[in-house]
């Protein structure tokens, strides 16, 4: 087949460009002070109490964020596909917004509120890193969550499923929860894991608002004294999320193939 | 939320291309959330940019944000960095997406690239900075390898915490984002178009030149604009890679906000944020225009 050669060139270039930094980071993270190799840097996550606590904080934020994101995105995406297809394009454009709105600008606006507005609502909002960061991480997570869920919905006979459930007497809410949600579970899981990735990587808003007890901030901080630990833990969180997504992708694919054969 | 879930649905067997208020109500939670938690901060950035620390309306902050040489330098390097990495990322990302698409559908390569794209495009930031330092820092692995084969990067003036090094790192998340954005458009190229072109005697090149590229152009342009905005907005990578040694707009905003430059700089920081929002707004308008053109050929 003609035109194969450019494909090989592109794939090899991509492999070199994308793998070399990751492999370098892996090699660096495995170095030990003595000059050999070992997994000491990775063990810091359990031996260093600050890092461990920060991981728990960030996981908590990730769970809150993922749940809020899904509660906002799944019903909206279903609604748009069933009842309001004319705004699909508009909504897709709106989900581009959080990609391009600078987190630093968002942080600047939030910091202004934090510094200048009082009252019980704001005091409750800014009480801890979980309450203060979660609402804004939801905004950052919306674009890809919407995209992932909408792709999932495109792949199932949504209208037929909802009609069938409705004809059998289910309410719209339970049709959504018990029919649609299981049908798009791999898309939902994908969205949730990308949200986890986001929370494990966000440092700009947390830093400017001075919530320094989150995992990514702790990882950067520890780098000042132990670069190897920083590299090890950031690499581990990247690879961990990627493996989760890959598992979801393969599990989802296998199931759908079985169903269709 | 509850109205949405419990609203008595009309017979769902009719497509109702409706613009009625009832249907619009279903969008309220989503749109309302964006208005409060995205629009809210933006509102305070804009109002703060247009007022003195005491709350009097003024344009001084905006004037200062575009006339001070220090901020102008930040503007220029942010714009250059974003434009160059957007173009490089868009071209390479489009080729990569097409190379992956022509492989086996839902094969391991497609799964690996699509999941990795998600993680790298949205995760960005901190791990990438560390990975690039490990590869191309003074004592990095790739640096050592290149020195071994006779290319002394640092002798040639390369530094990982320079604008070039930062650009090289940015491309690492620009390419995956391009793959995500352009893949639907590439999938939208119908095989019939290629067959029709071939039946009319077109070469592969003629097909791309006269059919595929004109159809793809708006989607490609739109995606490139999003990449530009993405790089323009990005800060985590720069923060972790350089700890503020390169003058970029986000760096300038962060240091103005932290107030360790000068007192009363907070509102100038907000004015810089306002400037960024203006640039982003222009980018978004361009994106929307191109998106409308791209939709002309899409199946939807």
Per-residue pLDDT, B260: 54
Mean pLDDT of B86-113: 88
Chain A residues in contact with B284 by the CB 8 A cut-off are: 93, 96-97, 100
A161 in contact with B, Cβ within 8 Å: no
**pLDDT higher for B293 or B280?**
B280
C-alpha distances in Å from residue B200, one per residue of A151, B29, B203: 35, 52, 9
Mean pLDDT of B269-287: 88
The yes-or-no verdict on residue B273 having pLDDT over 80 is yes
The yes-or-no verdict on residue B128 having pLDDT over 70 is yes
Nearest-CA distance A48 → chain B (Å): 19
What CA–CA distance (Å, rounded) separates A46 from A48? 6
The yes-or-no verdict on residue A60 having pLDDT over 90 is yes
The rounded mean pLDDT for chain A is 84
Chain B residues in contact with A148 by the CB 8 A cut-off are: 118
**Structure confidence by residue, pLDDT tens digits, A143-179:** 878 888 888 888 888 888 888 888 898 888 888 888 8
Phi-psi region of B151 (alpha: psi -120 to 50; beta: other; left: phi over 0): beta
- Token digits of residue A204: 């700009």
B217 in contact with A, Cβ within 8 Å: no
A229-233, A248-252, B52-56: range with highest mean pLDDT: A229-233
**Structure confidence by residue, pLDDT tens digits, A82-119:** 888 777 777 777 777 777 788 888 988 888 888 877 77
What CA–CA distance (Å, rounded) separates A208 from A235? 24
Q: What is the CATH number assigned to the segment(s) B36-298?
A: 1.10.3720.10
B208 in contact with A, Cβ within 8 Å: no
The yes-or-no verdict on residue B92 having pLDDT over 90 is yes
- Token digits of residue B202: 């077109």
Per-residue pLDDT, A253: 61
Element spanning B286, H or E: helix B266-295
**pLDDT higher for B232 or A125?**
B232
Chain A residues in contact with B234 by the CB 8 A cut-off are: 102
Chain A residues in contact with B186 by the CB 8 A cut-off are: none
The yes-or-no verdict on residue B89 having pLDDT over 90 is yes
Give ipTM to 2 decimals.
0.84
The yes-or-no verdict on residue B27 having pLDDT over 50 is yes
3-state secondary structure of A210: coil
**pLDDT higher for B240 or B19?**
B240
The yes-or-no verdict on residue B78 having pLDDT over 70 is yes
Nearest-CA distance B229 → chain A (Å): 5
The residues of chain A that CATH labels 1.10.3720.10 are: 42-260
The yes-or-no verdict on residue A61 having pLDDT over 90 is yes
Per-residue pLDDT, B228: 93
- Domain residue spans in chain B? 36-298
Per-residue pLDDT, A152: 86
CB interface of B with A, residues 135-194, below 8 Å: 135-136, 140-142, 171-172, 175, 177, 180
Confidence band, pLDDT 50/70/90 cuts, at residue A197:
confident
Per-residue pLDDT, A257: 44
Closest CA to B168 of B213, B218, B132, B115: B132
What CA–CA distance (Å, rounded) separates B226 from B228? 5
Phi first, then psi: what are they for A104, rounded to 5°? -65, -35
What CA–CA distance (Å, rounded) separates A155 from A162? 14
Say which range, A6-15, A250-259, B92-101, B267-276, has the weakest mean pLDDT: A250-259
What CA–CA distance (Å, rounded) separates A115 from A121? 14
CB interface of A with B, residues 10-29, below 8 Å: 10-11, 13-14, 17-18, 20-25, 27-29
- Token digits of residue B146: 């290149």
Closest CA to A216 of A189, A197, A244, A242: A197
Per-residue pLDDT, B243: 64
Per-residue pLDDT, B93: 94
Chain A residue nearest residue B109, CA to CA: A11
A154 in contact with B, Cβ within 8 Å: no
**Structure confidence by residue, pLDDT tens digits, B211-254:** 888 888 888 988 899 899 989 988 888 887 776 677 888 888 88
Phi first, then psi: what are they for A31, rounded to 5°? -65, 145
Per-residue pLDDT, A123: 78
A108 in contact with B, Cβ within 8 Å: yes
Confidence band, pLDDT 50/70/90 cuts, at residue B202:
confident
C-alpha distances in Å from residue A225, one per residue of A38, A218, A222, A228: 18, 12, 6, 9
Per-residue pLDDT, B7: 42
**Are the beta carbons of A242 and B280 separated by less than 8 Å?**
no
Confidence band, pLDDT 50/70/90 cuts, at residue B107:
confident
Query: How crowded is residue B23: how many other Cβ atoms within 10 Å of its Cβ?
Result: 21
Residue matched to tokens 């949405």? B4
* Probe site for chain A from B98, B109, B130 (most A CB atoms < 10 A): B130
Per-residue pLDDT, A72: 92
Closest CA to A146 of B27, B100, B41: B27
**Are the beta carbons of A163 and B43 separated by less than 8 Å?**
no
The yes-or-no verdict on residue A201 having pLDDT over 60 is yes
**CA A2, A18, B229, B181 torsion-angle sign:** positive
Confidence band, pLDDT 50/70/90 cuts, at residue B2:
very low
Per-residue pLDDT, B212: 85
Per the CB < 8 A criterion, the answer to whether B251 and B74 are in contact is: yes
- On the 0-12 / 13-18 / 19+ scale of CB atoms within 10 A, B7 is middle
What percent of chain B has a predicted confidence (pLDDT) above 70? 88
Phi first, then psi: what are they for B51, rounded to 5°? -140, 160
Say which range, A1-5, A197-201, B100-104, has the weakest mean pLDDT: A1-5
What CA–CA distance (Å, rounded) separates B88 from B138? 25
Query: How crowded is residue A126: how many other Cβ atoms within 10 Å of its Cβ?
Result: 19
Query: For A102, which of B13, B250, B266 is closest by C-beta distance?
Result: B250
Per-residue pLDDT, B214: 86
3-state secondary structure of A219: helix
Q: What's the topology of domain A42-260?
A: MetI-like fold (1.10.3720)
**Structure confidence by residue, pLDDT tens digits, B50-62:** 887 777 888 888 8
- Neighbouring C-alpha atoms within 13 Å toward the C-beta of B173: 34
* Probe site for chain B from A83, A152, A226, A234 (most B CB atoms < 10 A): A83
Question: DSSP alpha helices (H): ranges in A84-96?
Answer: 88-94
Helices (H) then strands (E): counts for chain A = 15, 0
Closest CA to A234 of A210, A218, A212, A213: A218
**Are the beta carbons of A235 and B130 separated by less than 8 Å?**
yes
């Amino acid at each position: 087949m003609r035109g194969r050669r450019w494909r090989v060139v592109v794939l090899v270039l991509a492999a070199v460009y994308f793998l070399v930094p990751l492999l370098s980071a892996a090699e660096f993270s495995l170095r030990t002070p003595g000059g050999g190799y070992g997994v000491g840097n990775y063990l810091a996550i359990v031996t260093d109490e600050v890092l461990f606590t920060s991981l728990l904080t960030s996981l908590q934020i990730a769970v809150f964020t993922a749940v809020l994101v899904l509660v906002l995105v799944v019903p909206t995406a279903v609604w748009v596909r069933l009842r309001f297809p004319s705004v699909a394009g508009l909504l897709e454009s709106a989900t581009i917004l959080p990609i391009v709105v600078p987190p630093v600008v968002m942080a600047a606006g939030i910091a202004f509120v934090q510094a200048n507005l009082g009252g019980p609502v704001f005091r409750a909002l800014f009480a801890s890193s979980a309450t203060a960061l979660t609402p804004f991480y939801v905004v950052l997570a919306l674009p890809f969550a919407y995209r992932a869920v909408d792709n999932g919905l495109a792949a199932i006979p949504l209208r037929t499923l909802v009609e069938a459930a409705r004809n059998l007497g289910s309410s719209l809410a339970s049709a959504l929860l018990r029919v649609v949600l299981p049908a798009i579970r791999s898309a939902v899981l994908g969205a949730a894991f990308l949200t986890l990735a986001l929370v494990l990587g966000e440092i700009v808003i947390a830093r400017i608002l001075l919530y320094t007890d989150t995992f990514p901030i702790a990882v950067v901080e520890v780098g000042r004294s132990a670069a190897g630990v920083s590299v090890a833990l950031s690499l581990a969180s990247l690879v961990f999320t990627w493996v989760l997504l890959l598992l979801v992708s393969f599990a989802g694919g296998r199931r759908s193939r079985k169903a269709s054969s | 939320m509850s109205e949405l879930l419990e609203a008595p649905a009309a017979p769902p067997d009719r497509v109702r291309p409706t613009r009625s208020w009832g249907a619009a109500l279903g969008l309220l939670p989503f749109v309302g959330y964006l208005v409060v938690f995205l629009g809210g901060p933006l509102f305070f950035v804009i109002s703060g940019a247009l007022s003195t620390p005491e709350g009097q309306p003024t344009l001084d902050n905006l004037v200062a944000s575009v006339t001070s040489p220090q901020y102008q330098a930040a503007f220029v390097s942010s714009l250059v960095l974003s434009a160059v990495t957007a173009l490089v990322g868009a071209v390479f990302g489009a080729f990569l997406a097409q190379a992956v698409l022509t492989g086996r559908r839902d094969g391991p390569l497609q799964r690996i690239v699509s999941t990795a794209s998600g993680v790298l495009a949205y995760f960005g930031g901190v791990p990438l900075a560390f990975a690039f330092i490990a590869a191309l820092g003074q004592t990095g692995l790739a640096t050592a390898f290149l020195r071994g084969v006779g290319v002394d990067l640092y002798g040639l003036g390369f530094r990982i915490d320079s604008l070039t090094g930062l650009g090289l790192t940015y491309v690492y998340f620009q390419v995956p984002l391009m793959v995500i954005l352009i893949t639907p458009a590439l999938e939208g190229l119908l095989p019939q178009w290629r067959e029709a072109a071939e039946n009319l005697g077109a070469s592969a090149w003629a097909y791309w030149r006269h059919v595929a590229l004109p159809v793809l152009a708006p989607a490609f342009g739109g995606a490139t604009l999003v990449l530009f905005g993405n790089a323009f907005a990005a800060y985590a990578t720069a923060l972790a890679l350089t700890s503020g040694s390169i003058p970029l707009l986000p760096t300038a905003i962060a240091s103005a906000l932290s107030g360790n430059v000068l007192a009363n700089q907070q509102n100038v920081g907000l004015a810089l944020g306002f400037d960024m929002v203006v640039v982003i707004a222009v980018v978004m308008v361009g994106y929307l225009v191109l998106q409308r053109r791209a939709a002309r050929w899409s199946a939807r």
